[in-house]
């Protein structure tokens, strides 16, 4: 294995790869936000209609 100099190390550029685990995490976050919105909307509607359990 070749040892790289400091100049060569500074030239290394990383990439960005979208993996399936990243997509799954994003979808789960979106689902949680949507579910929170539904719950908040239902709570607001129940408060306005005085429909408590």
Where is pLDDT greater, at 48 or 53?
A: 48
Q: Residues near 51 by Cβ (< 8 Å), separated by ≥ 6?
A: 45
Can you give the pLDDT at residue 14?
A: 81
Task: Tell me, yes or no, if the pTM score tops 0.75.
Answer: no
SS3 2: coil
What is the per-residue DSSP string for 16-40?
----HHHHHHHHHHHHHHHHHHHHH
pLDDT for the residue numbered 53? 66
Q: In this predicted structure, what is the pLDDT of residue 15?
A: 79
Higher pLDDT, 1 or 53: 1
The answer for residues whose C-beta is within 8 angstroms of residue 46's C-beta and 6 or more apart is 52
**6-42 residue pLDDT tens:** 999 888 888 788 889 999 999 999 999 999 999 999 9
Could you write out the DSSP letters of every residue in 7-18? HHHHT-------
């Amino acid at each position: 294995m070749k040892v790289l100099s400091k100049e060569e190390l500074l030239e290394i550029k990383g990439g960005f790869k979208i993996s399936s685990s990243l997509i799954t995490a994003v979808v789960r976050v979106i689902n949680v936000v949507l579910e929170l919105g539904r719950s908040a909307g239902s709570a607001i509607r129940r408060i306005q209609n005085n429909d408590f359990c």
